[in-house]
Amino acid sequence: MLQDANRPRASGGAASESAAALGTQALAAAEIARAQLSRIAGLDTGQAAAPTLGTFDIVERAKAELSRITGQATDHVSGVRNEADGWHVTVDLIELKRIPASTDVLAVYEAVYTPAGSLLSYQRTRRYYRDQMMNE
């Protein structure tokens, strides 16, 4: 393209302004992503910390969420611990209700929550009959 002879040539001014604008847009996008991660996962992104939940609150949340996710009834909570990476909750769910009840099939689920109470992961770790003796 031919440049207009009457127009002064830009000595990098327009290019540097557009580079600065792109840099500002990238910073804004990074801040938005950081804020979304903070809201979704309760992660510490250098911003104000989300309120942490107490033991009772996290246990109730784990029972309700695991029951909803799996579609199984909660039998009991067999463990809860607060570690550096978040809450670890062990919940026993009834996978198969039988008669007599001593032959019910139960499953142990381990759930990991952020300190703010967002579910990070869960998995079934074992299955057993209600009347089965456990070696611990």
Confidence of residue 9 (pLDDT cuts 50, 70, 90): low
Per-residue pLDDT of 44-86, as tens digits, reads 545 555 567 889 999 999 999 999 999 999 999 999 999 988 9
One-letter amino acid at 6 equals: N
CB 50 within 8 A of CB 115: yes
Mean pLDDT of 98-109: 93
Nearest C-alpha neighbor of 74 from the set 43, 99, 123, 108 = 108
One-letter amino acid at 50 equals: A
List residues bridging with 83 in a β-sheet: 86
| 55-129 fold | Nuclear Transport Factor 2; Chain: A, (3.10.450)
Task: Please state the length of the chain.
Answer: 136
Q: Is the peptide bond before 100 cis (omega within 30 degrees of 0)?
A: yes
